Amino acid sequence: MHRIFTTSVASVYPHYVAKVEKKGRTVEELDEVIRWLTGYDEDALRRHLEAETTFEDFFDQATLNPHATLITGPVCGVRVESVEDPLMQKIRYLDKLVDELAKGRPMSKVLRSPD
């Protein structure tokens, strides 16, 4: 089991916030991205952060967006579509979305919708 699986989302969340705010994006946009991917509403997301839910439990309880498979490309030197472990792939999806948000990609592109 990879260490990130048992890491709390709340412990990584401030790093996501710092990354996007440093590039002029907002916490609201970050939360929108997380909610889009996981299917959580604002209250559920807050509860998971307050409860310090692990990534494993966070994604076990999530309803992954059906368009998440449209998230492709490299993150941390690995192509997300090539990640074999389902949980690690979901974590990499989140990393990729946060990266795109921080890089200034338009929200309509970050929140993929099929053409």
Residue 41's identity, in one-letter code, is D
Domain 3-106 fold:
Helicase, Ruva Protein; domain 3 (1.10.8)
Q: How confident is the model at residue 76 (pLDDT cuts 50, 70, 90)?
A: confident
Q: Could you give the 3-state DSSP secondary structure of residue 79?
A: strand
How far apart are alpha carbons 63 and 36 in whole angstroms? 10
CA distance 10 to 3: 15
pTM of the model: 0.93
Q: What is the pLDDT of residues 78-91, one digit of tens each?
A: 999 999 999 999 99
